[in-house]
Amino acid sequence: MNAPVNPLQQTKQLGQSIWLDNLSRTLIHEGGLKKLIAEDGISGVTSNPAIFFNAISKSPYYHRDVERLKAANTPAEPLYESLVIPDIQAACDLMRDEYDRTQGRDGYVSLEVSPALAHDAAGTLAAGLRLKAAVQRKNLLIKVPATPAGLIAIEELIAQGCSVNVTLMFSLAHVDGVAQAYLRGLQRLIDSGGDPRVVKSVASLFLSRVDTLVDKQLDSLGGDALKLRGKAGVALAKLAYRAYQKTFQSDAFTKFATHGAMPQTMLWASTGTKNPAYSDVLYVESLIGPQTINTVPDATLAAFRDHGKATATLETGMSDAEVHFNALAKAGIDMRQVGETLQAEGVVLFEQAFDQLLKLLA
């Protein structure tokens, strides 16, 4: 009897990478991450302060190092970095085969700069370069928010040959701003004689949080507006992918590609469904397409493995996505403002998670 086909592996065959939105020493030391790579084709890892708070507070593999570093009176933030940098290095090493096989197009691990720097371009740049030097892995992505200050830092990091995962994107305006920052950085890197072939950037668009806020606004309107609920996140991703194609699959990008530069890759983030009325694989099944990434939390990964269907869906329904955005606008929903609100909230949430983490380690 043939073994059932793994939809995660099928998704990879359709050109989309599945990354894990989680990391801990338990996953590394007990072989969980290695198994996910081998059996499910997981080809990248994303992390953030909330993920590391959960890891450090629950996994027994940190206790000895925490006690040792506290005994040495190590301040909380350097202590945190001393704990997580080895985890990032170990994950990078596990992903290195994929990185080599794809010639640097996949197989990355993300490490976020301090959320306290979200509005500090110079501080973000310095932290990003310092973390890159500390990790010393080619397949590291420095994670930077798409705030106005973050865009300045992203351009500079790219110009200095540092690979970047841009986080906290919630709108088409964010998608465009991040793409332009990447292109400016590439141009500066090339102009200075740098090698763009070693630079990777992914643009992480958050989805479920968009539906949560838009649905709340639609609920307050009532009537026909209620029919629009639960569709904004997927529509946003489809329109963002169309914008990606216009920017990176056009003649305008040729001047960069001739130097070996890679297109920035769209990454679907916040893909765990928050509303139980919606499918638990909504933000995976609806957005499968080539040259994209979906980073999934453990529960969504398990759900898609169990009952997900892998078919090429990302490029279908583009006109429906546009119609939906127009209907939202007609109903009075300002999607650009939704994006700004969610980004501001996201920065606060990441800052709170980081503060909680530092208190744990103080």
Per DSSP, helices labelled H in the chain are 7-13, 25-29, 32-40, 49-58, 63-71, 76-101, 121-135, 148-159, 172-191, 208-221, 232-248, 254-257, 282-285, 298-307, 318-330, 335-361
Taking the C-alpha atoms of residue 123 and residue 328, their distance in angstroms, rounded to an integer, is 38
Closest by CA to 103, choosing from 254, 261, 252, 289, is 261
Catalytic residue among 12, 132, 143, 238: 143
- Token pair of 142, please? 């420095």
* Token pair for 129: 């370069």
Q: Which strand (E) or helix (H) includes residue 168? A: strand 164-169
Q: What angle do CA 170, 342, 115 make, to 5 degrees?
A: 95
Active site residue 274: no
Q: Which residues are catalytic?
A: 143
